[in-house]
Amino acid sequence: MIRISRYGPLVGLIAGMAVLTFGSASFAVRPDEMLSDPALEARAEAISRDIRCVVCQGESIEDSDADIAHELRVIVREQLKAGATDDQVQEYLVARYGDFVLLKPPFKAKTAFIWTGPFLLLLGGGIGICLYFRRVARAEVTPLNVAEQARLEGFLKVDDDYPNPDRDEPAP
Amino acid sequence: MSMRRRLLFTLPLLALAFLAVVFALGLSPNRDPRAIDSPLVGKPVAGFVAPALVDGQPGVAVGDLPTGAYTGQVVAINFFASWCLPCRAEHPFLKKLAAEAGIPILGIAWKDKRKASQDFLDELGNPYFRVGTDENGRIGITSFGITGVPETFIIDKEGIIRARIPGPLSADLIEAQLLPLIKGLQK
């Protein structure tokens, strides 16, 4: 009789999750699309990784199984084969689908905040913290008056027969 | 509390108000997050030749406009496919658009088998003035930057793309947006 470990389902689950996480490193590129020239193919893949799939939107065309992503990959490769530069291929796609098609938006007036926003926030926060600590450091220290001094000494003195005015203890 | 401190305490409130506006705009039902503004709107159509789908009729050929075949009148170009369910849904509205706007609609079967597109039109009727085929989808991508079907373009008298409508046409869309736009272009 085969004994299935009671951890069997757990092991299966972990294995399944591992496959989903690491196994699906999607190779959407079909073998028949690939160029025979490895240098050109490497360029095509580099370009495709930065081009957004226009129907799935969250994926690059390199990762997408969508039919239109396939067609765009083929177009990228055809253009490279015809001697286009990387920039020309990108321009071809941007002319048709707009900056949207680039996974990294270009730096323009409209996108300036996207690129500089995090740094501006960091800078603002940094300035805020600096100002705060400068004020803390500058705060004037007034010396204790006689009564306060006496009370402080009471705290500091560990002596059983000295009544602590802040502790609710029966007087000795 | 000093005035400056008081102002400082309103900052979180201001930030909240700002975010509320951003989210309200983002969640507005009128906003389609999948919509992509086409950079081709406002540009002339790049010339293409789509071979005829219907026997005994020419296909759709748009030369490098404005010298092409349809210069002088407003036209609509509609991409469709037999495998596309929304195309079936929008089909009756193509006839409505052609009739009410008084413009020819040029159909292009996109990434579809010839026979399948022919059967599609035989079954539902042919609302198009001319029908061409784009079996590998290159015309749609190269000349119109389409992302799928159905997709409709309004081209003005000079051959400039004036509107791109991704997704199926509807009675509302035709009446509220397309008819006024086309009327304006026909003047």
Q: Are B50 and B60 in contact (CB under 8 A)?
A: yes
Contact B141 A94 (CB under 8 A): no
Q: How far away is chain B from the Cα of A120, in angstroms, using its nearest Cα? A: 15
Q: B10-19, B68-77, B148-157: lowest mean pLDDT where?
A: B68-77
Q: Are residues A92 and A115 in the same domain?
A: no
**Which pLDDT value is given to residue B174?**
95
Return the DSSP state at B156.
-
Q: Is residue A3 part of a domain?
A: no
Best of A59, A64, A75, A96 to mutate (most B CBs within 10 Å, chain B): A96
User: Whole domain around residue A151: which residue ranges?
Assistant: 108-172
User: Is A2 among the domain residues?
Assistant: no
Classify residue A135: in a domain, yes or no.
yes
Cβ contact (<8 Å) for B147 and A71?
no
Q: What is the pLDDT of residue B105?
A: 93
Chain B contact set for A57 (CB, 8 A): 34
CATH classification of the domain holding A34: 1.10.8.640
Q: Are residues A114 and A92 in the same domain?
A: no
All residues of chain B having their beta carbon less than 8 Å from the beta carbon of residue A75 are 138, 141
Q: How many whole angstroms separate alpha carbon B94 and alpha carbon B168? A: 10
Q: Which of A75, A101, A127 is the last residue of a domain?
A: A101
Contact of A79 with A66, CB cutoff 8 Å: no
- Residue from the list B38, B40, B147 with its beta carbon closest to the beta carbon of A68: B147
For chain B, how far is it from start to end, CA to CA, in angstroms?
66
The model's confidence at residue B31, banded by pLDDT at 50, 70 and 90, is confident
User: Final residue of a domain: which of A74, A101, A128?
Assistant: A101
pLDDT(B30) > 80: no
> Which pLDDT score is estimated for B67?
44
Distance CA B181, CA B78 (A): 16
**ipTM exceeding cut-off 0.90 for this assembly:** no
| Residue among A74, A95, A59 nearest B111 (CA) | A74
| Residue found under tokens 């035709």 | B174
Residues A131 and A85 in one domain: no
- Give Rg (Cα) of chain B: 22
Residues A94 and A112 in one domain: no
Mean pLDDT of B17-27: 92
Q: What is the pLDDT of residue A160?
A: 61
A18 and A81, same structural domain? yes
- Shortest distance, CA B143 to any CA of chain A (angstroms): 8
CA distances in angstroms from A141 to A132, A138, A144, B72, B172, listed in the order given: 17, 9, 9, 86, 73
B176 secondary structure, DSSP code: I
pLDDT of residue B65: 45
Q: Which residues pair with B75 in a beta bridge?
A: B155
Looking at the fold, whether A97 and A115 belong to one and the same domain comes out as no
Question: What are the pLDDT digits (tens) for B123-160?
Answer: 999 999 989 999 999 999 999 999 999 999 999 888 89
pLDDT of residue A23: 47
- Which residues of B lie closer than 8 Å to A, measured between beta carbons? 34, 36-40, 111, 136-138, 141-142, 144-145, 147-148
Q: Do residues A59 and A128 share a domain?
A: no
Report the percentage of chain B scoring pLDDT > 90.
Answer: 65
In a domain, A131, yes or no: yes
Is the domain of A114 the same as that of A78? no
Check residue B69 and give its pLDDT: 56
Is A1 a member of any domain?
no
- How far apart CA B96 and CA B170 sit, in angstroms, is 10
Query: Measured between CB atoms, which of B38, B141, B145 is closest to A71?
Result: B141
List of long-range contacts for A84-93, beta carbons under 8 Å, 24+ apart: A86/A43, A86/A46, A86/A47, A89/A47, A90/A47, A90/A50, A90/A51, A93/A51
Same domain, A91 and A139: no
Distance between B99 CA and the closest CA of chain A, angstroms: 30
CATH number of B48-186: 3.40.30.10
Q: Are residues A63 and A116 in the same domain?
A: no
Q: Which of A101, A119, A146 is a domain's end point?
A: A101
Question: Do residues A61 and A78 share a domain?
Answer: yes
> Quick one: A59 and A29 in the same domain?
yes
Q: What angle do CA B157, B160, B166 make, to 5 degrees?
A: 115
pLDDT tens, position by position, B104-124: 999 999 999 999 999 999 999
Q: Where are the domains of chain B?
A: 1-31, 48-186
**Which one, of B116, B133, B112, lies nearest residue B61 by Cα?**
B133
Q: In the prediction, which pLDDT does A1 show?
A: 47
* Successive 10-residue mean pLDDT values, chain A, 172 residues: 59 64 57 86 94 87 90 94 95 92 87 90 95 85 86 77 61 57
For residue A140, the distance in angstroms to the closest alpha carbon of chain B comes to 18
- Contacts of the segment B151-155: beta carbons below 8 A, 24+ positions apart: B151/B78, B151/B79, B152/B76, B152/B77, B152/B78, B152/B79, B153/B45, B153/B76, B153/B77, B153/B78, B154/B74, B154/B75, B154/B76, B154/B178, B154/B181, B154/B182, B154/B185, B155/B45, B155/B65, B155/B70, B155/B74, B155/B75, B155/B76, B155/B77
Number of structural domains chain A divides into: 2
Question: In the prediction, which pLDDT does A25 show?
Answer: 45
